[in-house]
């Protein structure tokens, strides 16, 4: 099956770089018009320029912790690009800190970016665009850390809590918005070979890969393919409220 998004408008948060960039690229290559939302102005401008060669892409600079700016940004995207069919929420911050060292400021920042903004972005997009048109598809970014405990050195109670909240917001959104024919799903990646990960010490990479049944980390494209599958009303028409683990089988053997 060839998954296409021709004529659809998609918002992808956190798409100036990393996994979000690849999600935006896959969507634009599949025919979607894509609004990229990110805090990083220069990186966002570069991404828009590169991806703009493949289709219609616009950039919207937004700090998702400024919750009062979310709904106005969604309004602006609707005015400039049209009503929103697909929302992909990739923006997130990774945080590693043992539980006894986490400060209140760190806790609030991680929760605000990784889960509070996810809820208020869903509220704005469904309220403005999806509920009135009784259609839409949302894919949120959880993490394997939001599903089970993580061993040191990857442990991070605030990150895990923020991603666990995404799993639950996904289920709750799916139930409440099903009557409007809006589907809400999430992906939960294990380790992903992003540029940041590529520069990790070789020993750390080896240790991360060794217990994974498929003996490799995911590429950003592996995650983006799962996102496009869940976002598609053709491929995933009856799937809602689910969190798709993409981790080469790590969770199955308790990595
Ligand atoms: N990389 C991994 O191994 C991995 C594993 C599991 C889950 N994830 C999740 O996947 C998502 C993407 O991860 P990545 O590795 O591509 O990270 P990344 O840091 O490369 O990209 C995250 C993007 O989010 C943006 N962002 C951060 N704070 C923001 C804010 N306040 N407002 C707007 N934009 C903001 C950043 O500018 C960046 O462009 C995250 O949600 C992360 O938690 C990643």
Q: Does residue 101 lie in a domain region? A: yes
pLDDT tens for residues 87-97? 999 999 998 88
Does ligand 1 have an atom closer than 6 angstroms to the CB of 21?
no
Task: Note whether 41 and 67 are within 8 A (CB).
Answer: no
The overall average pLDDT reported for the chain is 96
Does ligand 1 have an atom closer than 6 angstroms to the CB of 11?
no
Q: Does residue 212 lie in a domain region? A: no
Q: Does residue 131 lie in a domain region? A: yes
Q: What is the pLDDT of residue 64?
A: 98
Q: Does residue 150 lie in a domain region? A: yes
pLDDT higher than 90, residue 25: yes
Q: What's the whole-model pTM score?
A: 0.98
Q: Does residue 78 lie in a domain region? A: yes
Pocket mutation for ligand 1, best pick of 20, 59, 246 (most atoms within 8 Å of C-beta): 20
Q: Does residue 102 lie in a domain region? A: yes
Q: What is the pLDDT of residue 190?
A: 96
Q: How confident is the model at residue 145 (pLDDT cuts 50, 70, 90)?
A: very high
Distance, CA of 20 to CA of 29 (rounded, Å): 14
pLDDT higher than 80, residue 153: no
Q: How far apart are the first and last CA of the chain?
A: 32
Q: Does residue 39 lie in a domain region? A: yes
Does ligand 1 have an atom closer than 6 angstroms to the CB of 14?
yes
- The first and second tokens of residue 108, run together, are 């609030």
Q: Provide the CATH number for the domain around residue 170.
A: 3.40.50.720
Q: What is the pLDDT of residue 20?
A: 98
Distance, CA of 83 to CA of 11 (rounded, Å): 10
Which letter does DSSP use for residue 252 in this model?
A: G
| CA dihedral over 15, 17, 23, 29, signed as positive or negative | positive
pLDDT tens for residues 230-247? 999 999 999 999 999 999
Q: Does residue 166 lie in a domain region? A: yes
Task: Note whether 216 and 248 are within 8 A (CB).
Answer: yes
**What is the domain range of residue 179?**
9-186+226-244
Task: Tell me how many domains the chain contains.
Answer: 1
Q: What is the pLDDT of residue 226?
A: 98
Q: Where are the alpha helices (DSSP H) in 52-156?
A: 70-81, 104-111, 117-125, 131-133
Distance, CA of 47 to CA of 42 (rounded, Å): 9
The question of whether 159 is a catalytic residue gets the answer yes
């Amino acid at each position: 099956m060839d998954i296409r998004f021709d004529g659809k408008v998609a918002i992808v948060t956190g798409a100036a770089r990393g996994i979000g960039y690849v999600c935006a690229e896959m969507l634009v290559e599949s025919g979607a018009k894509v609004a990229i939302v990110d805090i990083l102005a220069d990186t966002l401008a570069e991404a828009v320029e590169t991806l703009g060669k493949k289709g219609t892409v616009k950039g919207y600079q937004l700090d998702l912790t400024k919750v009062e700016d979310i709904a106005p940004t969604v309004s602006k995207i609707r005015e400039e690009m049209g009503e929103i069919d697909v929302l992909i929420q990739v923006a997130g911050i990774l945080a590693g800190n043992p539980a006894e060292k986490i400060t209140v400021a760190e806790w609030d920042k991680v929760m605000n970016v990784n889960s509070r903004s996810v809820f208020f972005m869903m509220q704005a997009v469904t309220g403005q665009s999806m509920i009135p048109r009784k259609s839409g598809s949302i894919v949120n970014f959880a993490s394997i850390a939001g599903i089970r405990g993580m061993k040191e050195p990857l442990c991070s109670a605030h990150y895990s809590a923020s991603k666990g909240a995404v799993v639950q917001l996904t289920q709750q959104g799916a139930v409440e918005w099903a009557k409007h024919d809006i589907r809400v799903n999430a992906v939960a990646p294990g380790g992903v070979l992003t540029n940041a990960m590529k520069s990790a010490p070789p020993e750390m990479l080896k240790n991360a890969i060794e217990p994974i049944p498929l003996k490799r980390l995911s590429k950003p494209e592996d995650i983006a393919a799962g996102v496009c599958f869940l976002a598609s009303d053709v491929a995933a028409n009856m799937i809602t409220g689910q969190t798709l683990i993409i981790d080469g089988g790590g969770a199955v053997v308790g990595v």
